[in-house]
Chains A and B, each alone.
Chain A
């Protein structure tokens, strides 16, 4: 009776069995890594805007305060984007006929709003509030990165639940004195740990309450 399988069948069988095991492990590990890669989170990818607005120029070089444009940040859930008027307060005088500002002038003339592309976004079921973070010593920089280096805005952090929770469980490392909230490239003083400790008590921060689901999901 002829052999059904050649002599190296055993080797093949072993290879297949072990191979399957390794492939499985690779897929599992790769998957978990992929979920956190900028490939999915979009961290660091500059987003093209109708007007190539440069935070680098306005914040970094001109030193305009965040709140000049994002004026809801201290009082409202949404920081807000500047109305066309706000852009034109300066640009009615400066670069009055720069080509790149044409859309802005058009917007004011036609009364049609500018349509900025969204860079930082969270899902519907996440209720984020800017005012409370700013009030409790979380700086713009902490979540939005050093925007004054960015000619075009890009997402600085993954904004995943994991990322939120790391800070909500232990906010202290991300706190800074209220007067420095809107600073970029802020260098913490040596006694920062002591300051942060005192901030936690002064600002009445209770980490144990900050991981309740309804803090973000309602």
Chain B
């Protein structure tokens, strides 16, 4: 097997080529080999002092090798400019060629479910996450959180040593204590012992827990997951007689009704769902068809923004709407009746999606409707819930048990009840009564501080494990790097509880699969990133007892609260990740904090301004929160995002925001009625990256209804001056490649995955809340969010804006030192090392897509922390006073070109994939060589509704857009005529 065959360009992965490359690599043995040559501490100290200095003392020598790898790449390519010495391997691991990345398939867990990824690794240093095209939950896409995994991996705040009562201790001591514990449990058959786990879909972990239970009969297992939504399984249990989980097939749905479901932004299947949903909305010719989405929502979401018809209602009204859906047309209000009619018309290709946060009745009503319309089996299947786990209750039950002296020693695996517990549970008090509290987690978090023993967890990228996707497909999780900080996997923890101290994680996982996978199949599973054919089979459902004993909740009066999860921090577990803190929230564009969202009307009634602090009281508890006036928000409702307010962790402590958990009680986990709001005098700083939300009547996001598009396919040309054709400057010849990009605004759902991927690929710094407030943020790619129409129910428009790579670029002619220049293939190259920072280029850029290093945002050398190990070695790290910008991932273009040129062939279409394009769940971005007549991007640009932003300026952008087309149905055509009414 030749090294060449092994590492084709990272950026350009067709599933086939991926499989091929992976095929001729024996992944896990190669990792062992990596680990075997472990003689690199001096190596690092010489080449990579910044990291060596920050590594824990008693670190596994093998750990260093992985970091060390970086230095070779850096020494050769981007190391400290005065690289004094070159340090070769002593034994060079097979299949490592310094300067060439390797790619491994694994899976990252998202709320316990797995999403398959391909990780790029430079000399054993994971630097970039890409989706695994073969994995059903990823389909090659990633989201912002997955992109940030590499940063979390190298986070210097991660817990590094086991702590006994807060004091550093050895792992051996811990095992000794565990030995005692397991001995006691063996004697008392687990009397008084309890495990607190999170949602898990890991077959190995489930098996281990079952073994543990059979070992200690009286041992209890509790599950705490602040994001848990048990209503769905409860409803299916009622409806079909057994707990089931739905798997939707949006690619088969013509008409969709979402009852407060955010299937594009939430849930383990979100990436696959977004892909399928968008695939039905790619209109290129007037003949093409399109699905239609009706969205009922209780807070603005990505799904609502993507909907063709949207209705904002108060949380408690959803149940009655579900009842109306149940009862049929007569009972329904006019707009819902229209939707129902539409759904009925679509027959088995209709789909009603219940909101995952909604109560059992809504789920039951939705699935009931799907069953009547015959959608089950077509647009929705039911499978055994991948996260099914036999548990003795949730955190509440655990606290009761502790209070009742039934439990005296608890082992917490991952969860952080110390922060995420409902406000009406005094977890601290409960835990303080315990004889023994063991905590296993990535950070020394609030729970760790309560615990007698804290053990550092291994990051997903350091772990051996297995995990299921939203459809039950199992992936084997394999490590990219030995645990940096001596972290352990959950499997090792449970094994220790079972009294097995000799085992290691890979052994445990292999054990689970010993029966199902022989060695060949096992390696195949590792190579492909999933166990072939492990997807759960759909369960044939027949009507069970029906809805007899499920009744809709009554509509409550007064102000209501809707709790939502911060899209990036989730239950706050990612609070210490700077990339995620600084990634603008899709709808508010807020960074480094959260706010209480209210509707303009409610704000008017209470005379509130954005940024004004209000006090929210419910059930004797109250919190202060700054108000954010949110267009399209339901009236008399307050949306409170969970996840902020953390004070542990150096990054989390920087962030603003309030802790909404303090208002969230166990009886009202997602919705609460009868909330009182009182305005306070003071205001709080809300940092946002977009200050102006109307298009000012300019033709920026050009849009039409499907019917209007069918009448006028080139509606984007209406009422805009024709683009000039004359220019003072001569045209460039493009006889090699001519790179171009097309962005489909109908497909873009504004999920921000592209922005995060861009940051990860291009070493973009984070600047912190204060600099963001000054307007110094550094994202090369931004997703503009405009509102059009009435503020109480506006249309929400997203527009990703990377560099347009103009052919007549205003930036190029004004740079006095030639630091931004036009290339033979039509890029506006930015030469960081030539730039002296006159900022004239940005001044003259109509799109304002350039970013300037106002200060030294990326420390290097001694000041730099381990985070710098996440850097992409193919991209310069920019220093203070330098302008930077998107160049279509020129490093990927160069890599592809070099490989093509070495083989003496042309670059194939799809061989260069930009980071944003690769991450996009909806395939909204297409990129390629415009001189290649067969290029996909050329077909996109050929569509009748393709247009260039600000084309009247004669900048001739290489990045163009496809006008946004929605399908609201005939009723709305009149309302949709206009295309650019700001």
Is there contact, CB below 8 Å, between B98 and A212?
A: no
A112:B902 contact, CB within 8 angstroms: no
Q: From the candidates A75, A78, A129, A206, name the one contacting B736 in the complex (CB within 8 A).
A: A206
Chain A residues within 8 Å of B165, by CB: none
In contact, B876 and A213 (Cβ under 8 angstroms): no
Question: Which residues of chain B come closer than 8 Å to A116, judged between CB atoms?
Answer: 85-88
CB pair A131 B84 closer than 8 Å? no
Q: Specify the chain A residue showing the minimal Cβ separation from B72.
A: A78
Binary interface encoding of chain A residues 63-84 relative to chain B, with 1 for a CB under 8 A from any of its CBs, else 0: 0000000011001111011111
Closest-CB distance, B821 to chain A (whole angstroms): 6
Across the interface, which residues of B come within 8 angstroms of A76, CB to CB?
97-100
- Whether A115 contacts B890 in the complex (CB less than 8 A), given A132-B898, A204-B901, comes out as no
| A125 CB–B CB distance under 8 Å | yes
Among A83, A213, A215, the one with the most B-chain Cβ atoms within 10 Å of its Cβ is A213
Q: Is A218 an interface residue (CB 8 A)?
A: yes
Closest residue of B by beta carbon distance from A132: B898
- Interchain CB contact under 8 A, B77 and A127: yes
B87 & A204 in contact (Cβ 8 Å cutoff): no
Known: A83-B92, A85-B92, A132-B898. A213 touches B87 (CB 8 A): no
List CB contacts (< 8 Å) of A83-127 with chain B: 83-86, 107-108, 110-118, 121, 123-125, 127
The reply to whether B898 and A131 contact each other, CB–CB distance below 8 Å, is: yes
Residue of B91, B825, B891 with highest tally of chain A CB at under 10 A: B91
What residues on B are CB-neighbors of A204 within 8 Å?
Answer: 901, 904
Q: In the complex, are the beta carbons of B77 and A77 less than 8 A apart?
A: yes
- Total interface residues on B, CB under 8 Å, equals 56
By the criterion CB–CB under 8 Å, are A111 and B825 in contact? no
Interface residue SS majority, chain A: loop
* A86 cross-chain contacts in B, Cβ below 8 A: 92
Q: Are A77 and B76 in contact (CB under 8 A)?
A: yes
Any A CB within 8 A of the CB of B405: no
Complex CA gap A129/B901 in Å reads: 12
Instruction: Determine whether B90 belongs to the interface, using a CB cutoff of 8 Å to chain A.
Output: yes
How far apart sit A151 and B178, CA to CA, in the bound complex (Å)? 62
Closest to B6 in A: A75
B831 touches A213 (CB 8 A): yes
With both beta carbons as reference points, the residue of chain A lying nearest to B42 in the complex is identified as A112
B622 at interface by CB-CB < 8 Å: no
Q: A81–B75 Cα gap in the complex (Å)?
A: 12
Q: Is there an interface contact between B81 and A123, defined as CB atoms closer than 8 Å?
A: yes
Q: In the complex, A128 Cα to B894 Cα: how many Å?
A: 11
The verdict on A208 contacting B890 (CB below 8 Å), with A78-B98, A83-B91 known, is: no
**Please, which residues of chain A bring their CB within 8 A of the CB of B99?**
72, 76-78, 80
Residues from chain B with Cβ under 8 Å of A214 in the complex: 823, 827, 829, 831, 887, 890, 893-894
Give A19 to B99 CA distance when docked, in angstroms: 55
A135: nearest residue on chain B (CB-CB)? B902
Q: Does B939 sit at the interface, judged by CB under 8 A?
A: no
Q: CA–CA, A181 to B90, complex, Å?
A: 28
Residue with the greatest number of chain B CB neighbours at <10 A, chosen from A72, A75, A86, A113? A113
User: Residue on B with the closest CB to A202?
Assistant: B904
Is A10 located at the chain interface by the 8 A CB criterion?
no
Q: Does A217 contact B901, Cβ atoms closer than 8 Å?
A: no
**With A and B bound together, what is the CA distance between A3 and B83 in angstroms?**
65
Q: Is there an interface contact between A108 and B81, defined as CB atoms closer than 8 Å?
A: no
Collect the chain A residues with CB atoms within 8 Å of residue B891's CB.
127, 218
Q: Which residue of B lies closest to A204 (CB)?
A: B904
Q: List chain B residues, Cβ under 8 A from A176.
A: none
Q: How far is the CA of A184 from the CA of B39 in the complex (A)?
A: 36
Known contacts A123-B833, A124-B78; A72/B97 CB under 8 A: yes
Which chain B residue lies CB-closest to A134?
B902
**Min CB–CB distance B805 → chain A (angstroms):** 12
The residues of B that contact A113 with a CB separation of less than 8 Å are 39-40, 42-43, 87-90
Task: List 15 A-B residue pairs with CB atoms under 8 Å apart, sorted by A's residue number.
Answer: A77-B100, A78-B73, A78-B77, A80-B98, A83-B89, A83-B90, A85-B90, A118-B75, A124-B77, A213-B821, A214-B831, A214-B893, A217-B832, A218-B874, A218-B875
Which residues on B are within 8 Å of A, measured CB to CB? 3-4, 37-40, 42-43, 46, 72-73, 75-81, 83-92, 97-100, 736, 821, 823-825, 827, 829, 831-834, 874-877, 887, 890-891, 893-894, 898, 901-902, 904
